[in-house]
Structure 1
Amino acid sequence: MARVLVVPGVSVETRFDVPPPLPSRSGILGAVGVVDRAPPPGELTGITTSTELFERFGPASRYSFPELLDAIANGVSEVFVSAVDPRSGAPAELTLRDDENQPVALLRARAVGPWGNDLGARVVRTMAEDGVTVRRLSLEIALRGTPVERFDSLVFDATQERDFFATINRESTLVVAIDPDLMTDLPATDADVVAFTDSAAQPARGRLAAGNDTLVNVTAAQPGGRGNRASLRVAAGHASRSFPGAADAPSIRVSAREAGDAGTAISFGITGDAAAVTVQVQDGAGNVRTYGGAGQVLDSVAALVAALSADPAVRVVRLGDVLPAATAGRQPLLRTVSVTFAEEGAATTELADLESATAIAAALDALPQLVAALAPGADGTRLPDVGAPNARFLDGGRDAGPARACAGQDNPAATVLELRPAPGADAAAARFRVLAGTTAGTVRISVGRLDAGVYAEQESFDNLTMDPDDPRYLPAVLAAGSNVLRAADTFLRRGASHLPTGSLAPQRFTGGAMPSLAAWQNATDALAGVPDVDLVMAGLQGWRDPALDHAAVQTALGAHAAQQAELARPRIALGGVNPATQRDTSAILSQAAIVAGRRFVLVAPGGAEGAVAGLLGRLDVFQSPTFKTLGSLSAALVPYTDSDLNRLVGPDGNVCVVTSRRGRGTIVVKGIAADGFQISVLRTADRCVREVSKIADRFIGQLNNSEQRGALRQMIVDTFTQMERDGALVRSMDGKDPAFLVEVYGSQTDFAAGILRVDIAVRPVRAIDYVYATIRVRN
């Protein structure tokens, strides 16, 4: 009710017209597919550049969803990526093994799906001058046989800049590297406030044992973490025996030609005197061979060595110049072992055919890198066990300074993470806690200090994981955001070697699999949350996973487009033909029959749908893509013949074919939907629907009177008039019928029910697909 003036004056009432809406946007793509880093299900964010794509969804999205790059490169206005939940899929993997055939590193594709099965990895070793020691490694990652990435000067040392795991996880866009045992295990949580442990450098230690008995203790000569890269390996030696001359003078040493305990079945006997000797060799099969006598005089050590140089069972090494003394019968050769000491990346030393623990301790202690001694109470005549029990790295070496080792939740006996102070931080005052993260399967690290015995938090990092492909990867988050802490992802050393073996050709990744059909359906349904989307597509990685019904994914995409059209959010679905059958026109036509519909565009060849979506996004809605040039296309073209094109583009196919045309480049042959309707006509009609919906929404709740009805009609007329000026709507060919008609009306019953009816007729422009010319030749 208007105010009544009591005191003379002026009362003014202001009424605002309903403001017209901004024009609808077009060329907005909703993309369903597998990405490197999937956001939470249902979370959709628009991107406009490839840089945004890689930052938000990870660098491997280039390979798991290449159609996205094609769409962006060809000019799509904006892309909303609905990432398929990867948990029901699997990434391709490759396990690298060392010389002992033990797993040392697991390489995993950064995104799930069969695309990763095209990856290969080749390890190249750089050897030292001794031809045995591996100085450093190079890792080459190939895609479909073509090298894509190479990482040089790699070592297995978490304290080094070129650590294998840290370098791959930091620099590779294709794969991550994780420890095959620790995997992505999180550090154990602990509510207690802890500090760094600051201690002096500690040397690495090891031992050689026989059963449960320690025979030799070994310590790195220099303290520090470097000692953890040293290893000892005990292998079977050549059974041997020394035969002295008179008065125990050095003479000869006899060894089995083959290493192993079988050599102890060989026996060696000597008869004669200081002037000449005769020797007998009995091999493991019981055969006896005699050297010396009347026809072969062995009157010197040199003659004896020469005489037995061709014996198949033993070899004789000269130790002195005195002939060996006679023996009481044939004496069996004694068991020995060989001990190999290796400093990873530095040197390898083999101590061959040692006869006792005492001899082993003396030989190891003579090396400048080690301090070795017989264990207290050990029997110096015994030999350590051969193989796995005595094939191991030294451990426990530690550099001086503050650090904190964190055990794993699943591996409580192992260190999965080492925390260290950041450069310039006050390590003595720093305190921290490892707590359960807000999200399941994560941890939170709280950093602070103690003030009067009370913990005061200064930094907090939540939802941290140990997955190198996760944006919340703990070491990376601390490196980027903490002023106090740094973290090193650790790994376990196995056996006595840890460097992967070299390979002549790339080793193939295996096991990549697509997420389930339900995951694809959920990702498709999520696009309903973005009303501005007018184009939709799915990236199916070349239809390579037989477990996924790819046709069902495309059918669901078409159904989604039709459903949204009924809600005044019309959109067009694009899908590619099966790449495995894209050269068979009959197979393409069969697929076209399955997805036939006005709101589905079937593109050939498979994989070109992203480029076509980008082209449509770049064009005005009323412009036809027919004979328009594509700027970028990752899919390989198929050389369809004219006969093939007649079948595919014709009324029995209605396939949107991309091909190469001399003088035009890579073009769309005909821009048609799967029912033969021109895409541009459908997009123009969709634009009309969106504009009317946006205008009508402004009038909901307004009074149903002639003034508002007139305003509604006028806004629609203004919008369609502009579309006619733009060339989207046209008059009839004879010019008698207008480009559009608008009528706003309602019955009295409609008035009582709050209903207003709007009837609209529009004539979208059509593209010239064919030109028929008649040429008359005059005399």
Structure 2
Amino acid sequence: MSTLVVPGVRVEAQFDVLPPLPAPSGIIGIAGVVDRPPVTTRLIGVSKVSELKQLIGPGTIHSMKEAVHALSNGASEVIVSAVSGGSAAILTLLNEDSVPAVLLKCRFNRKWADKLSAEVRTIRDALGNIVRVTLYLIVDGAAVETFPDLRVAPGQPDDLFDTINQKSNLVVALDAGFQNALPAEGTYIFDAPGTPINVLVDGDTSTLFQLLPKEDAEPDGLRAVLTVSDSTSTINIKVYRGAALQEELAGLTMNPDSDLYLPFVLLAKSSLIRIRAASSLAAGKRLPTATSGPVIFTDGTSPGANDYNDAIDLLTEDPRIDLICASIEPARADNEVIQIHQSLVAHAVKMADDGSPCIAFGSVTPTEAASLDKIKDHASAVRNRRFVLIAPSRAEGAVAGMVGRMNPKESPTFKTVPLFDINPSSYRESELNRLLSSTTNLLVVQERAGRGIVVLRALNTIGDQISVTRVADKAIRETKAISENFIGQLNSEDARTALKQQIFATLTRMEREGAIVPSTDGKDPAFIVDVYSTQQDFAQGIVRIDIAIRPVRAIDYIYATIRVKN
């Protein structure tokens, strides 16, 4: 403050450090394969299942079912870290002349191991010509998608390519003769009647598609300039009327699994032009012939365990995440699943050390589920306070969503869990005695007579209750958020007192909520707080906080004694 020269009064206002808002909970980070990975490596947050389709593609609904289950079970937000690597499975359907007619390509990268197949059935006219086909997409022997009575009729609601590309969560359909084809660059000028203009395949004489003016657009003087980027194979379209630029659509692609697919973008965003798809085959030869049974997709490969590790590391960018898991396909080898789960453990421990603790969830593999010894080995390999191993297989998303919905102080034990398309475990009582004991500490989701499908006991792999860890994590996050606001303040008695008061107020709130409790005999308080700085700490700019809390515990067992009196 400057010194007064002329007599007067100068007033300086000093504001106290504001307490932060309570730390959020129930935010789940999931690493997995998605349909449309972001162009730049980044996390994508979603709060509804519909946003999964909109932001990272419809195939994500199938490739990352854990995210769907978590959101459906009440998670407030899911943070997706896309796993790169692998390749998509494909299947070529032939016409009656044994010529490739339709190429089906999986929307996401995965090795299906003979689990994904397609079957085609045909309808013929009186002359024996194929006029319509019905396509079945089959996973694990069950038809999961059916597209009846399709034909090749661009622009019509029953067109084979448009129907599959817009409605299937598993595959896209391409004209087999136009695989990887790009349009020829050029300036396309409409005449006064608006006659359709043929756009050829680059370097070929085949017509890839036709450009047409929109129904309500005046074609006279309208021209479209089409350019293709050699480095990215993306297409840019500029539409002029005379010399004036009317529209510009950039970064378009001929990949129907992209949100920048050229026909869809023109349909949705252009007010002047549209396109009509062409075919590489002659009329009457464009539909595939019937298959003798399900035909298996080939060439698909899955990302490696190291690719999952990279995606898990990316979750560190969002410190709000307090629950994490990985979406792993059922066919992956057991040792790779354990390796991915160990990456989750390492991530959770690191985040706890950084003051942003989280709990990792994983499930046993389908081959492990029937072997108690394999389950025990799996649990031993990931044994940590911050890891929860679950049975049945692939139930981690559903359980994490249910846990995220609950208040941290509440235990999931004996709470119902919707598993959707996953069958609950069915272990005998003698098997449960081993799985729930301290040698394994498995979180088992199983049907219980009179209660439905429930978590039998909510344990991490060291045998402690999940709710205890969540309450401790909440105290860690609250303490860190409060303390960070005091960095840069003077290390005075007043500042240390203010810091202590804010932490005390937060822990008092947690006690009143029932998250932390006094000892059962009432002699020890629910928490103790001390904030101090020794003379050496003072010289080094250090303030120390010592806190002791007692998280509330759930009732896991009740022992009743009944005395029968005469």
Q: TM range, normalised to the smaller chain?
A: over 0.9
1:753 offset after TM fit, Å? 1.4
**What CA distance in whole angstroms lies between the structure 2 residues aligned with 1:499 and 1:164?**
9
1:434 aligns to 2:226 (yes or no): yes
**What CA distance in whole angstroms lies between the structure 2 residues aligned with 1:723 and 1:520?**
36
Correspondence for 2:266? 478
Correspondence for 1:532? 320
1:548 offset after TM fit, Å? 8.4
Matches within 5 A, 1:35-74: 35-74=34-73
Out of 206, 214, 218, the position equivalent to 1:414 is 206
Correspondence for 2:400? 613
1:48 offset after TM fit, Å? 1.4
1:160 offset after TM fit, Å? 4.5
1:466 aligns to 2:254 (yes or no): yes
Correspondence for 1:151? 147
Conservation of the 8 A alpha-carbon contact between 2:101 and 2:288 = yes
**What CA distance in whole angstroms lies between the structure 1 residues aligned with 2:124 and 2:279?**
23
Cα 1:470–1:638 change in 2 (3 A) is: same
1:711 aligns to 2:504 (yes or no): no
Correspondence for 2:179? 183
Conservation of the 8 A alpha-carbon contact between 2:102 and 2:287 = no
1:24 aligns to 2:14 (yes or no): no
Cα 1:117–1:448 change in 2 (3 A) is: farther
Conservation of the 8 A alpha-carbon contact between 1:478 and 1:486 = yes
Counterpart code for 2:88: P
CA deviation string 1:659-685 (max 9, x = no partner): 110111111111111111211111111
Matches within 5 A, 1:508-587: 508-542=296-330, 544-546=331-333, 549-587=336-374
For residue 410 of structure 2, give the secondary structure of its aligned residue in structure 1: coil
1:503 aligns to 2:497 (yes or no): no
Conservation of the 8 A alpha-carbon contact between 1:730 and 1:764 = yes
Correspondence for 1:13? 12
1:37 offset after TM fit, Å? 1.9
1:75 aligns to 2:71 (yes or no): no
**What CA distance in whole angstroms lies between the structure 1 residues aligned with 2:524 and 2:155?**
80
Conservation of the 8 A alpha-carbon contact between 1:577 and 1:606 = yes
**What CA distance in whole angstroms lies between the structure 2 residues aligned with 1:480 and 1:118?**
35
CA deviation string 1:236-284 (max 9, x = no partner): xxxxxxxxxxxxxxxxxxxxxxxxxxxxxxxxxxxxxxxxxxxxxxxxx
Cα 1:547–1:107 change in 2 (3 A) is: farther
Matches within 5 A, 1:95-244: 95-114=92-111, 117-130=114-127, 132-158=128-154, 160-190=156-186, 193-196=187-190
Counterpart code for 2:418: G
Matches within 5 A, 1:440-455: 440-451=232-243
1:778 offset after TM fit, Å? 2.2
1:495 offset after TM fit, Å? 10
Cα 1:417–1:592 change in 2 (3 A) is: same
Counterpart code for 2:235: V
For residue 131 of structure 2, give the secondary structure of its aligned residue in structure 1: strand
TM-score (norm: length of structure 2): 0.95
1:587 offset after TM fit, Å? 1.0
Correspondence for 1:391? none
Correspondence for 2:542? 755
**What CA distance in whole angstroms lies between the structure 2 residues aligned with 1:474 and 1:732?**
66
1:688 offset after TM fit, Å? 0.6
Correspondence for 2:413? 626
Counterpart code for 1:57: I
Correspondence for 1:423? 215
**What CA distance in whole angstroms lies between the structure 2 residues aligned with 1:702 and 1:728?**
31
CA deviation string 1:671-717 (max 9, x = no partner): 11111121111111111110000000100111111111111000000
For residue 338 of structure 2, give the secondary structure of its aligned residue in structure 1: helix
Matches within 5 A, 1:248-397: none
Conservation of the 8 A alpha-carbon contact between 1:36 and 1:61 = yes
1:510 offset after TM fit, Å? 3.1
CA deviation string 1:585-625 (max 9, x = no partner): 11111111111111111111111111110111011111111
1:173 offset after TM fit, Å? 2.5
Conservation of the 8 A alpha-carbon contact between 1:102 and 1:494 = no
**What CA distance in whole angstroms lies between the structure 2 residues aligned with 1:610 and 1:38?**
20
Deviation larger for 553-562 or 51-60: 51-60
Structure 1 unaligned regions, length at least 5: 200-400
Conservation of the 8 A alpha-carbon contact between 1:421 and 1:484 = yes
Conservation of the 8 A alpha-carbon contact between 1:104 and 1:494 = no
For residue 700 of structure 1, give the secondary structure of its aligned residue in structure 2: coil
1:116 offset after TM fit, Å? 8.8
Correspondence for 2:380? 593
Counterpart code for 1:662: A
**What CA distance in whole angstroms lies between the structure 2 residues aligned with 1:43 and 1:560?**
17
Counterpart code for 2:188: V
Counterpart code for 1:140: Y
**What CA distance in whole angstroms lies between the structure 1 residues aligned with 2:7 and 2:184?**
80
1:491 offset after TM fit, Å? 3.1
1:444 offset after TM fit, Å? 1.3
Conservation of the 8 A alpha-carbon contact between 1:438 and 1:462 = no
**What CA distance in whole angstroms lies between the structure 2 residues aligned with 1:747 and 1:600?**
37
Conservation of the 8 A alpha-carbon contact between 1:608 and 1:634 = no
Conservation of the 8 A alpha-carbon contact between 1:658 and 1:669 = yes
Conservation of the 8 A alpha-carbon contact between 1:557 and 1:573 = yes
1:150 offset after TM fit, Å? 3.0
Correspondence for 1:383? none
Conservation of the 8 A alpha-carbon contact between 2:66 and 2:398 = yes
TM-score (norm: length of structure 1): 0.70
1:738 offset after TM fit, Å? 0.8
For residue 496 of structure 2, give the secondary structure of its aligned residue in structure 1: helix
**What CA distance in whole angstroms lies between the structure 2 residues aligned with 1:106 and 1:753?**
68
For residue 117 of structure 2, give the secondary structure of its aligned residue in structure 1: strand
CA deviation string 1:306-338 (max 9, x = no partner): xxxxxxxxxxxxxxxxxxxxxxxxxxxxxxxxx
Conservation of the 8 A alpha-carbon contact between 1:465 and 1:472 = yes
Cα 1:631–1:546 change in 2 (3 A) is: closer
For residue 441 of structure 1, give the secondary structure of its aligned residue in structure 2: coil
Cα 1:704–1:102 change in 2 (3 A) is: same
1:636 aligns to 2:428 (yes or no): no
Q: Percent identity?
A: 41
Conservation of the 8 A alpha-carbon contact between 1:513 and 1:545 = no
1:769 offset after TM fit, Å? 1.2
Out of 519, 526, 545, the position equivalent to 1:732 is 519
Conservation of the 8 A alpha-carbon contact between 2:279 and 2:286 = no
**What CA distance in whole angstroms lies between the structure 1 residues aligned with 2:277 and 2:535?**
75
For residue 111 of structure 1, give the secondary structure of its aligned residue in structure 2: strand
Structure 2 unaligned regions, length at least 5: none
RMSD: 2.2
For residue 319 of structure 2, give the secondary structure of its aligned residue in structure 1: coil
**What CA distance in whole angstroms lies between the structure 2 residues aligned with 1:111 and 1:772?**
52
Matches within 5 A, 1:640-659: 640-659=427-446
